[in-house]
Amino acid sequence: METLAVDGADRVLEIGGGPGVAASIVCDRLETGRMLLIDRSATAIERTRRWNPEHMSSGKLSLETIDLRDFEARGRRFDKVFAVNVNVFWTTRATEELARVREALDPGGRLFLFYETPSAGRADEVATRVAEALRANGFAEPEILTPAPELLCCVSRVGAS
């Protein structure tokens, strides 16, 4: 969460939120900001709903059961978009998925892709593939961070720099 550096007014989108643990931590830091969590799994969405009743009732957290490739921002803009261990960004070119992220990011907004990796070699492979997908889809050269052992984060913005 230190890497994500959530500000109290941030508008945050989480892709593939799993059980909702990260959403809970992010929402605890929000004051006027809001968070939308999307996941293609109805089970994951229900787990998030159960894990975060106070954030749901306060309006800080909204949930949508949808695959990223089908997500439409519909005018919503986000300061930060993040995903944890969402493989589509390193196992494919993620062209449709990254187009959806580009549409959702506010100018100057940032994309954070976190991966838990079993080894340094695997981390290098993931970082290389993610960077290639980002560059191929209109994102700036990513900053590669290692905020903890076996944790990799690729951070990028839309555009050339």
N-terminal to C-terminal alpha carbon distance within the chain: 24
Residue 88 structure tokens: 């589509």
- What pLDDT, in 10s, does the model give residues 5-26? 999 999 999 999 988 999 999 9
Residues in CB range of 18: below 8 A, 6 or more apart: 39, 44, 47, 48, 84
- What pLDDT, in 10s, does the model give residues 40-77? 999 999 999 999 999 999 999 999 999 999 999 999 99
pLDDT of residue 159: 86
- Give the burial string for 119-141 (b: 16+ CB within 10 Å, else e): eeeebeebbebbbebbeebebbe
Confidence of residue 101 (pLDDT cuts 50, 70, 90): very high
Confidence of residue 160 (pLDDT cuts 50, 70, 90): low
Q: What is the mean pLDDT of residues 112-118?
A: 92
pLDDT of residue 121: 80
pLDDT of residue 66: 97
